């Protein structure tokens, strides 16, 4: 992801595309009979701090997270910091974290055609398979942008595709365009805690949080170490069940 280059499509076509996308290729969630709310901590693009700080904090609380990987970024560096190498992605998998998919080159699924999206997804899965990581079942839209053609491709490829609009996952929520809450920026911790309270007040709910880097001085798209640990601790203190995204989907599908 690039702070300087990416700009969402604000055209009339873009607005109509996003509206139509909400209506088609839906996979309604079924969340019933939960004894306590679910919560998932996820990382997009996976800079190294998501491993060195994020995974370490989760593991200290007996939890595991979900890492949405664009293998074309591996080993590179950006405003998010250095990205994970292939060996580090493999290490995360070996430690019990979920390795999930972005597109290979962080392709914007809102603007690309179906063939290009399918090729990028296949390239990403092949690169992960070369690391010994297979059976990947979940996806997150890079930039959070969605299109009818993207949902059509993803509908047959993954059990769920996570987007970026706010909300809880409850019965009826579209798992092909699932909501998530960013814990980024100066208000990240307060925003996360607000949604934790919303989930506690909502029976049979699942809250998905996401960030990118986890550093003392994070990027615009990241959070501080203090913020991340505070939210993991709050989830434990309030008796949330911390699950990877794939485990949550198995409960919701």
DSSP annotation of 45: S
Question: What average pLDDT score do residues 63-77 get?
Answer: 97
Question: What average pLDDT score do residues 118-129 get?
Answer: 97
User: Which domain CATH number covers 42?
Assistant: 3.20.20.370
In this prediction, residue 118 carries a pLDDT of 96
In this prediction, residue 143 carries a pLDDT of 87
Give tens-digit pLDDT for 187-230.
Answer: 999 999 999 999 999 999 999 999 999 999 999 999 999 999 99
- Alpha-carbon dihedral of residues 111, 141, 78, 228, nearest 10 degrees? 150
More confident call, 143 vs 12: 143
pLDDT confidence of 14, banded at 50, 70, 90? low
pLDDT confidence of 1, banded at 50, 70, 90? very low
In this prediction, residue 218 carries a pLDDT of 97
| Residue 18 within a domain | yes
Q: How far is CA 188 from CA 4, 34, 184, 185, 206, in A?
A: 21, 27, 5, 5, 18
pLDDT confidence of 127, banded at 50, 70, 90? very high
- Percentage of residues in the chain with pLDDT exceeding 70? 92
| Residue 2 within a domain | no
Which residue range is the domain that position 56 belongs to? 12-252
| Residue 153 within a domain | yes
| Residue 201 within a domain | yes
pLDDT of residue 2 exceeding 60, the answer is no
Question: What average pLDDT score do residues 63-80 get?
Answer: 97
Tell which residue, 156, 157, 155, 161, has the closest CA to residue 139. 161
| Residue 202 within a domain | yes
In this prediction, residue 35 carries a pLDDT of 93
| Residue 1 within a domain | no
The whole-angstrom separation of Cα 68 and Cα 249 is 15
pLDDT of residue 138 exceeding 70, the answer is yes
pLDDT of residue 3 exceeding 50, the answer is no
| Residue 7 within a domain | no
8 A C-beta contact, residue 94 and residue 18:
no
Give tens-digit pLDDT for 150-197.
Answer: 999 999 899 999 999 999 999 999 999 999 999 999 999 999 999 999
CB contact burial 123-142 (16+ within 10 A = b; e otherwise):
bbbebbeebebeebebbbbb
Which positions ≥6 away from 163 have C-beta within 8 Å?
140, 141, 144, 146, 177, 178, 179, 180
pLDDT of residue 5 exceeding 60, the answer is no
In this prediction, residue 10 carries a pLDDT of 66
How many domains does the chain contain in total?
1
pLDDT of residue 93 exceeding 60, the answer is yes
8 A C-beta contact, residue 100 and residue 67:
yes
In this prediction, residue 144 carries a pLDDT of 83
| Residue 183 within a domain | yes
């Amino acid at each position: 992801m690039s702070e300087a280059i990416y700009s969402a499509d604000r055209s009339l076509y873009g607005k109509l595309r996003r509206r139509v996308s909400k209506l088609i290729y839906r996979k309604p969630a079924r969340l019933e009979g939960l004894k306590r709310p679910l919560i998932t901590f996820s990382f997009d693009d996976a800079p190294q701090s998501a491993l060195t700080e994020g995974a370490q904090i989760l593991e200290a609380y007996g939890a595991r997270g979900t890492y949405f990987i664009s293998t074309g970024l591996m080993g590179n560096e950006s405003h998010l910091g250095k990205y994970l190498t292939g060996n580090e992605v493999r290490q995360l998998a070996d430690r019990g974290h979920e390795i999930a998919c972005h597109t290979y080159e962080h392709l914007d699924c809102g603007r690309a055609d179906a063939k290009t999206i399918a090729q990028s997804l296949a390239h990403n899965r092949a690169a992960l398979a070369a690391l010994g990581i297979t059976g990947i079942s979940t996806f997150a839209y890079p930039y959070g942008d969605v299109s009818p053609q993207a949902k059509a491709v993803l509908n047959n490829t993954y059990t769920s595709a996570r987007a970026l609009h706010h909300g809880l996952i409850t019965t009826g929520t579209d798992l092909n365009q699932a909501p998530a809450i960013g814990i980024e920026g100066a208000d990240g911790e307060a925003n996360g805690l607000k949604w934790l309270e919303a989930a506690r007040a909502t029976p049979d709910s699942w809250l998905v949080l996401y960030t990118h880097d986890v550093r003392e001085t994070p990027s615009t798209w990241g959070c501080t170490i203090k913020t991340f640990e505070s939210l993991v601790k709050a989830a434990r203190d309030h008796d949330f069940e911390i699950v990877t995204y794939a485990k949550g989907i198995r409960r919701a599908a």
